[in-house]
Structure 1
């Protein structure tokens, strides 16, 4: 069975087209012809050129946007690493499905859809809008044993890939990563430490709002998990299986799936960036398809972005997750494309060029 999921992941990686540098350069030339000093719109110009390189088109249609919120539980919560109990994960999933979470509000404002996926929640959930693709009923406590088997990690990645394939077939052209899982900043800190070399003291932040003694417990849990499981930094699937989470692996699949379908994927905060780094190690050619949305308050986030080679668009001191920062960034994508489409050129406006 391991081979089945491995094959699906490898197939998706093989589908990723090379970034179209010629289209990106065409977009840059067009941007330079607009009525403004060259480069004066900063990251908006860079985004427009990146979208051209991803799509191969100067003005791609990016109107259909979706944030995929992957949900899963974490056995490491037994170690007292979160300010909230594990029961909050299924409760928040129902909140997403009823439209009451922060990401729902921001997605409505951005004209985007929210898809909530149960890939690893430790509860039986039923709702007409829930996408149920459960791989595990919560991970095991990584401080005592591997969080998942390799097969489960690969299956969760395959879930993300399949979901993106389905959404692209339905007309979606831009994706954002979102997640829900009490304990998942602990897993993400472990992934960050293994894949970047950051110490647990550097990678572990406040998560749901812990500090002092609780943060010391969290650092200790990450250290023990890494020492016990010995995840192989050269094998990102091994890292995801031993110290990751089903929802993090699911997001790895979303990122690879978006690239395989020639679509940009907007990366949210710390947890999504841990998934993005793992995805980039599995498929380096997926990197140009990633857009970093924001720099969160989680102290390990900057190190993750630097390891991937991404620069965030905004800094709003957020640390909620769910996909909130990524969905906010949809507005900047729309703005970048509108500027390319609607601004006058020096020639058309009769303006003297400097």
Structure 2
């Protein structure tokens, strides 16, 4: 991946969207459509992409998968269906995508074609018998310390593999996002100050490396069945079953298909100098800065479940009535997940 710098946009969501869409090696068609079954030559959108930010950047520090297993943390992230209409920020819906997919298969008309594909996928979706291994399924160590079989997922990169790759490559991976507004708060030793949007002039988020990571469901999943069913709803999902499958709150309205990770984040916030002075915001007294989903903190890197990069702060008058505050991670222990890519079928 090459160096990406965005022109200044309204907010972080717009800036990251611009960065992703300007990286041709990572982006394919954002919307896929097929000829519908209405007989009028119209097309039906069968999947589209939506970018959603994490409200708080999550550590991407999943442990390596043991042989024949998938970690619970990885499975839950990959399998959790997004909440419906959550806007610019990702919100888990609390439903299992693999369970929804299995229920969706049961809705399809018996005359679905190709029948061989549907039959094979239905067979793969049947849970294996206790103690037996089955293609498309992996063991997960549950909270009770017992192994249970779950539908499998894999990703295009692992945390340790990606970090090693970034550290050995000579290509430039830097990401720079510039935008005009966003939620900013600054905590000093005595108080936490939320900076009003009209007091913020510019926000810049940078990372030394970033990547779009793909999520691959196992052989229990075949998107072709969704594509065919969506394009032939009146034939294969009659009697309102299309709404049950793809409508708001439907069984398979959407899924997390990719996520965006970043390494060694830093931030620069330019705000009104008079406001900073009135709130007694000084670099020597800053304990934490929250911006762009990152919580830059002077505390231990293990604090707050490792959500906060251990950071140093600087501030200076930028002239013209402006003050800048810089927050940068002092050392990297893991990348952070800052956004997800939602594949929408509804």
Q: Same fold (TM over 0.5)?
A: no
- Structure (1/2) with the larger strand percentage: 2
Give the TM-score taking structure 2 as reference length. 0.22
Give the TM-score taking structure 1 as reference length. 0.22
- Structure (1/2) with the larger helix percentage: 1
Whichever of the two has the greater Rg, that structure is: 2
